[in-house]
Amino acid sequence: MRLEAAPDGAPDVVGGLLLSRDQIASRVREMGEAITTDYTGREVVLVTVLRGGLFFLSDLCRAVADPIRLDFMAISSYGAPVQAGGVRITKDLDENIEGRDVLIVEDIIDTGLTLNYLLGMLRARGPRSLEVAVLLDRDQRRIADVPIAYRGFHMPDTFAVGYGLDLHGRYRNLPYIGSVREDVLHGVGSA
Ligand code: PRP
């Protein structure tokens, strides 16, 4: 992943372009094709954790040729580390996943602790299969080793916004993924 100049009209906080709209679209299409091939004849339930994964989910599910089902979860960490048990499910799945083929769809994996927690919890519900699709794998801070069946991109240790990623709740709707300026992250510039 190379850092290019920020797109015209980018918000001030964006210092450079990490992934363009076209790069994302083309990789997501490939991931959808791989999922279509792997799940031929099986109905997969795509499970996304709100909120950042929504954008990736929306494009990925439309790149899968066969019928799929969607379900959503939301968790709150209270700002405490996941491994310290500071996780609460604020919205659980609506569907029973026992005996189903389940694919967790995440925008980004960092420490891996969120996914590790989710995998353990969902595995206990007896799905037929349970896999992970992630757009961005930022593995420099990995603590929990989570299995990733479908990976979009390896990502540098850079704070990024766009395509679901936020800075204080903003910029999720940028159609590309941009890096955030260092001075903004260190509180010198404005966000
Ligand atoms: C992001 C992402 C994962 C989690 C990954 O969510 O969607 O759920 O962080 O981090 P980890 O690997 O270190 O556990 P975030 O908490 O930013 O919430 P959001 O999706 O609402 O932006």
What pLDDT is stored for residue 122 in this prediction? 96
What pLDDT is stored for residue 29 in this prediction? 98
Domain ranges of the chain: 23-155
Stated as kind and residue range, the H or E segment containing 164 is: none
Distance CA 103, CA 176 (A): 24
What pLDDT is stored for residue 173 in this prediction? 96
Closest to 98 measured CA to CA, from 134, 76, 128, 70: 128
- Token digits for 162? 């766009």
Distance CA 183, CA 87 (A): 31
Q: Which of 71, 94, 101, 110 is catalytic?
A: 110
**Residue 3 near residue 18, CB atoms below 8 Å:** yes
* Average pLDDT per block of 10 residues along the chain, 191 residues long: 89 96 98 97 95 96 95 81 68 97 97 92 97 96 94 95 96 97 79 56
Ligand 1 neighbour 155 (Cβ under 6 A): no
CA 115 to ligand 1 center in whole angstroms: 9
What pLDDT is stored for residue 78 in this prediction? 64
> Could you identify the atom of ligand 1 that is nearest to the CA of residue 110?
12
23-155 has which fold?
Rossmann fold (3.40.50)
Distance CA 113, CA 1 (A): 24
Q: CA-CA distances (angstroms) from residue 117 to 18, 120, 129?
A: 29, 5, 16
> Could you identify the atom of ligand 1 that is nearest to the CA of residue 117?
14
What pLDDT is stored for residue 80 in this prediction? 56
CA 170 to ligand 1 center in whole angstroms: 14
